[in-house]
Amino acid sequence: MARPHIEPFVDRDVGFKKLTLPGFRKGIQYKMLSMDKETGACTMTVQYDAGFKQPPGFANSEMEIFLQEGHLMIGDKRCEKGTYIFAPAGTSLPAMSTDEGCLALVFYNFGPPSFTESDEDHDKADKTQKRTMVDSYFGMDWQVPTLFPQTAPGCLLKILHLDPKTFAMTFLYCMTPGFWQDNISYHDVAEEAYHIWGTSWMMQFGDLPTGGYFYRPAYINHGCFRSDLGILAIGRTDGDLHNYFHHDPFSSPEENHHRAAAKLARMKPALYQWILTNEHNHLPHDFEFPDDTYDTSGYDSGIHMHEDGSSHSHKSAGAHSHLNQKKKAKK
Amino acid sequence: MSFGSTTITGNVRPKLTKEELAFVKQELTEQLERYNKIVQEQEALTPQREKWVKEFLHRIQTRGYHVHAGMKRVIPKEEIRPRDGRPLQVIF
């Protein structure tokens, strides 16, 4: 399962389309930001038109909503901009309506958009997680990231949702005016972000303005960074975010992947050795979550690079390229 | 790979309807067009990007490289890895 590398994409450059999938009420328009090629999981900018009304109901997929502009009534609660909602798959949300219309980001994490009218949860609803709703603008404080290594001073976070098992997270982040970070970064996880306000610059992609979006698979270089006037953005990862900093602008995703593995071997030699040499070479097991399985054979980091510089994603595991293999074959 | 919880690995109704499949197919077609447009735009940015890279390499050898938070280190010339003809591909 994977989404392609979409970076940068500015949603202000394209028009809205009406969402006409069965189940949804009239008055929803959307711009698709990215979609998983296998599951239809997607991230969209959504406009709920003035007068929009929707009865109670659930999505088949886990869903997140971030309100950018306007207000949205959810049940009897008036949600202002900055409201973030996390709804586990199949859990019913109260009726929704807006008099003046509103603009939101909507994330369907495991499938395409769906809506089934119901004031009860689906009988297979995800009961392991709770529905949450937070006022991210006025109900939370900015935090200095506690990562090591850490982003340069002036990049602050508000964690909106953190998956307790994977540490996948949804977060607001800001760069203060004059922010500058002179290094190149990559991660083991995919990352996506949307600029709610402001423009930042990256050495690879240039300016990303208000309405700018990216979905970036793992191990792809990004940075250095700069923002003259500051930004406010929402970001997500699909796992634990570690900053791998370096200063080689030409390293490939494959090299970055190798470097990350080398770092794991250096920093956690016992774990690395266990992974490599465990006699039975079986999948790991977590006694805290005995029913979980860790078969990653279907994992696709989304990138695959050829010697001619072209790239695509495919179904086999991991990011890799044929660059070195072909060079070796020539010798 | 999907965002979020690993406790549920799909929809509560895994099989997509005919309408959902058509929706996904159409969106993926448009996504490929967006991707190709991005590749072209980023290709056109190459000359400018090459300048940005030169400036970056100069800065980290003079002003410093962000190692962690506000901690910086000036990178000596011998630590700059030679390019050796490597492409500056940014979209994958």
pLDDT tens readout for residues A27-75: 999 999 999 998 999 999 999 999 999 999 999 999 999 999 999 999 9
Range of the domain at B36: 18-79
Domain boundary among A74, A106, A135: A135
- Torsion angles phi and psi, residue B30, rounded to 5: -70, -35
Rounded to whole angstroms, the Cα distance separating A182 from B62 reads 12
Tell me: do A10 and A127 sit in the same domain. yes
Contact A110 B70 (CB under 8 A): no
Closest Cβ opposite residue B88 in set A61, A114, A249: A249
Residue B86 lies in a domain: no
Which residue does chain B place closest to A6, by CA atoms?
A: B35
Residue B39 lies in a domain: yes
Give, in order, the Cα–Cα distances in Å from A87 to each of A80, A140, A145, A232. Answer: 18, 19, 25, 23
- Return the closest-CA partner of residue B15 out of A87, A124, A31: A124
Residue A292 lies in a domain: no
Label residue A247 by pLDDT band (50, 70, 90).
very high
Tell me: do A22 and A127 sit in the same domain. yes
Closest Cβ opposite residue A247 in set B60, B69, B88: B60
Give the per-residue pLDDT at B62.
98
Q: Using one digit for the tens of pLDDT, what is the confidence trace for A133-181? A: 999 999 999 999 988 999 999 999 999 999 888 899 999 999 999 999 9
Closest Cβ opposite residue A165 in set B1, B6, B89: B6
Predicted confidence (pLDDT) at residue A278 exceeds the cutoff of 70: no
Range of the domain at A206: 155-246
Contact A292 B6 (CB under 8 A): yes
Which residue does chain B place closest to A31, by CA atoms?
A: B27
Average pLDDT in the B14-28 region?
94
Tell me: do A168 and A130 sit in the same domain. no
Tell me: do A185 and A215 sit in the same domain. yes
Residue A140 lies in a domain: no
Q: Considering Cα of A238, then A70, then A6, then A10, what sign does the dihedral take?
A: negative
Which string of b and e fits A45-79 if b means at least 16 CB within 10 Å? Answer: bbbbeeebebeebbbbbbbbbbbbebbbbbeeeeb
Domain boundary among A182, A215, A246: A246
Predicted confidence (pLDDT) at residue A310 exceeds the cutoff of 50: no
Contact B1 A34 (CB under 8 A): no
Residue B5 lies in a domain: no
Q: What ipTM describes this predicted complex?
A: 0.93
State the total domains in chain B: 1
State the total domains in chain A: 3
Q: Report the gap between the CA of B1 and the closest CA in chain A (Å).
A: 5
- Within 10 A of B58 (CB to CB), how many other CB atoms are there? 10
Q: Which of A11-20, A299-308, A318-327 is most confident?
A: A11-20
Residues of A in contact with B4 (CB under 8 A): 62, 64, 109-110, 163, 168, 238
Q: Does B31 touch chain A (CB under 8 A)?
A: yes
Rounded to whole angstroms, the Cα distance separating A18 from A200 reads 30
The whole model's pTM is what? 0.91
Residue A290 lies in a domain: no
